[in-house]
Chain A
Amino acid sequence: MTTIQVLLTIMIMAAVTLLTRAFPFLVFPENKKTPEFVLYLGKVLPFAIIGMLVIYCFKSVSLFQAPFALPELIAAVFVIAIHKWKHNLLLSIGGGTVLYMFLVQVVFG
């Protein structure tokens, strides 16, 4: 990719990201009432989307080839357990990432 193409890629991402954040404010201006249907989706969608994003992160993991998704599974279980226990963002994210790096580089590397 050329420098211009990298710049364009970044600009597109910035613009589309801003669009997703501004969308509700454009569709429902300050003086208008938000429809019930939209409020319903606004309430339930964030939960479904986060489930989708977690699976999205594992999109390239193969269950049928060594190491059979073991590093991902171990690190994910660790993050869930330590976060339920301590509720410390740094510990959960930092600890989980270091564990995962150790698993893929040393244990299963």
Chain B
Amino acid sequence: MNKKTIKAAFPHTLPVFMGYLFLGIAFGVLLASKGFHVGWAILMSVTIYAGSMQFVAVSYVVAPFQPLSVVLITLMVNARHIFYGLSMLEKFKGCGKLKYYMIFGLTDETYSLLCSAEPPEGVERKWFMFWITLFDHCYWILGGAIGCLAGTLIRFDSTGIDFAMTALFIVIMVEQWESTTNHLPVLIGIGSTILCRVFAGEQWFIIASMAVILLSLILLRPFFERKGKKVFEEVQQP
């Protein structure tokens, strides 16, 4: 916990600062438009701390109470985090108590920072990763609070502001597309989900598409690996 570590970590978090502030504001405005005050925005951003999930949460806190459905949708929307953890198993080794907070704060954006950011000489890696995680968390809380306050004070038509979430996913998809030459996995994801949406209906299509995606990838494993290790190895984490 020294100044040097904080100074080293902060510049790495600037892109996330921009992204989270805007997304957080969008979330806060959306929540305010449903009649919730800033305390709720802060509570949700502190405890849930998952961008896309909190947009989904807005539609759940105004609907009738349905705990099972909440568990399922959270699992479905956040299942991808399981795979982020998988690639952090090594990096988080030996981080002691800090590890628990870093696991809690492993969002899409923090994950992508932790994958690439290297601490400078003389800065302890675990504290460096911890500060990146903490900075990102603060930006997210700040954005949500600003958005919710603005949305409560100034009344304006916020129809369509939830597109911020769609835009974020599209941006991550574009970045992933550029990071690999093997586009089959993402095309499988898009294709299966469209098919399942058409045939399984709005309520069940996500579970159906997760099953189809898992099955397709498992069946394709020999193909990916036989087609030459190269193609497979180029598939990297975003």
Contact = CB atoms under 8 A, between A and B. Distances in A.
A97 B89 contact: no
Contacts of B26: 97
B146 to A, nearest CB: 14
A50 B173 contact: yes
Contacts of B80: 45-46, 49-50, 53
Interface residues of A, number: 66
B134 to A, nearest CB: 16
A52 B213 contact: yes
Contact of A55 (B168, B174, B178, B197): B197
A25 B170 contact: no
A10 B93 contact: no
B199 to A, nearest CB: 13
Contacts of B62: 1
Contacts of A57: 165-166, 169
A79 B85 CA distance: 28
Contact of A1 (B63, B75, B157, B213): B63
B127 interface: no
A44 B235 contact: yes
B48 A44 contact: no
Interface stretch (B1-9, B117-125, B147-155, B203-211): B203-211
B217 A53 contact: no
A97 B171 contact: no
B116 interface: no
A13 B47 CA distance: 9
Interface of B: 15, 18-19, 22-23, 26, 40, 43-44, 47-50, 52-53, 57, 60-65, 67, 70-71, 74-75, 77-89, 92-94, 99, 103-104, 106, 157-161, 163-176, 178, 180, 185-194, 197, 202, 205-206, 209-210, 213-214, 216-218, 221, 224, 232, 235-238
Interface of A: 1-2, 5-6, 8-14, 16-18, 20-25, 28, 30, 34, 38-60, 71-72, 75-76, 79-80, 83-84, 89-90, 92-94, 96-97, 100-101, 103-105
